[in-house]
Structures are given as structure tokens and as C-alpha cells.
Structure 1
């Protein structure tokens, strides 16, 4: 007697589940100005809010879109920090949202090239109540991105694998 089985049948037979990846667009975003926060400088930070699936997340990558404006001709850096979810898109400001956050990662981007992704897996896995909030800071400042209200498909998103 001969036996044959595809790898999919083998996986099903022994109860292995295949990973599934979905793209989740930012649900809330705001540009927050912190006046005089660092010495006499004004600091402009992007605040992103995501609604995560109620599943066990194995990988989570922040997808960074092309900016609509960059204040340099060479390179710019983007750094990401996780922060609390205590903010509302229509009322958040530098006066009511603390700059407290835990650095996650950064990426250096040559102007004109597509920004890389940043691994935010541990932050997605530790998100409270299925919500994740991230600060995105650019150096030099004044690197601008489309907001969710722009209607553009080129906005921040997450590739979530579970």
C-alpha cells in the first residue's frame, strides 16, 4: 500500500496552524506640538493609535509610508516609542499628552526612498485592551505624513501576524 500526503494535509493532520498576516490601518492619528519641551525648541511628534485583533500576535511590523514633505535633501531618521492610550484624536495636544514613552526602534531613510519597517512586536503583544499608541519622531523635524483624514492610502499601518 502506498501513502502520499501534501504538506497542507500533514499540517492539518497534526494540528499545526499556518500563520496569517493582515494589514491594519491606523485608526487615530494626530500631530502634536510640544512647545518649549526640550530647552527652547518646539517638538512636533506624530501620535498613532491602532486597534489590534483579539488574537495572539506573533509578529507586528509598523509600515511607514512615504512622507509628503521632508525638511532635508539627504537622510532623515524616524524613531518610534510606545505610549499610553490616554488621548483622543480631536482633543490631544502637547498640554494634555505626556511625552512619556518607551523607545522601540528607529530607521534611517534616504530622501526619495521608501522608508523601512520597524518591528513593534513586543509592543503589540503587550497592548492593553487591544489598543496600541505610538509616537513617531523625525530628525530633522518637519517630516510630514498623510493623516487618516487625508483619504490617502499612504498612511501608517501595521502588518500583524497571528
Structure 2
């Protein structure tokens, strides 16, 4: 088992590299010469469902920021986005106002950043759900889900239902 200072050092280096990588990727994706015109030809609206199952909150945060970036890039491409997120599996541990003590101790700052990012996504109109089977399994009280996240009976049923209604699935495993 690593010493606490080694764990902290590894966490800090990993977080810094994640942020640097995300910033670099975002800057590159923002290049004015890049576009998705071929893929989006003739599309004025798009319906997308992100199935989020990340077990690492630092990685999950990066993907949540990426979803906001996708929203903004769709607008740049003149496509109206209709985005949804379903949180399934261990990801539900990171979208509560009352995380387990061990999660809070290890990832407190990241959890605050996730809450802020969820609020940003809610503000731009992203609809969000959480699988109650997962919340029950991970002892997350549905009443403590972050604002904007609606508990549903089954995340899998949501995936099936939204796809049947025309939403394209983007797995975030």
C-alpha cells in the first residue's frame, strides 16, 4: 500500500495531467478550421443520450465537461442539441449532496467540481436521470441527487426508451 504522501502526489499529478490534457484537447477542438459538416450535413437538430457509468470521478468530470463542449460545438455547427444523460452503476456515487464518507474524503474537491458542472449542464438544458437500481445498490438516497437529476426506476429502461424515441446512444464507460 502506498504511503499517504505518495497517494496524494499521484492524485495531484494525475489531476494536473487530466486538466492539461482536457485544456489541450479543448483548444485543438476549438480550431476555427475544424468542423463536422460532413457528418452533420442536412441535420438541423440532434438527439443524444449519454450513458455515463464512470467509476472514477476525475475522469467522469472530464467527460461532463466534454458534454458541455459537444453542446457548444453543435451550436457552432448550427445544429440544435437535445442532450440527455443517464447515470448508471458506480457513477451515481458522485452525483449526490451526501456522498459516502470514504468518497468525500478521497474526492471532495472533484465532487464539488462535478456538482458545479452538473449545474452548468442543467442551465444549458441538458436533461439528466439517475438509475435507482444503482442508487439503491450504492446506498445513495434519491432525495440527495444533485439538482436537475431525476431518479428513474431503471437506467437500462431509460436507455431503451430514449433510443426508441430517436436518441442516439453515446456510451461513456
Larger helix percent: 2
Q: How high is the TM-score relative to the length of structure 1?
A: 0.26
Kindly indicate which of the two structures has a greater share of residues assigned to strand. Answer: 1
Instruction: Between the two structures, name the one with larger relative contact order (CA 8 Å, sep ≥ 6).
Output: 1
- Which structure has the larger Rg? 1
Superposition TM-score, scaled by structure 2 size: 0.25
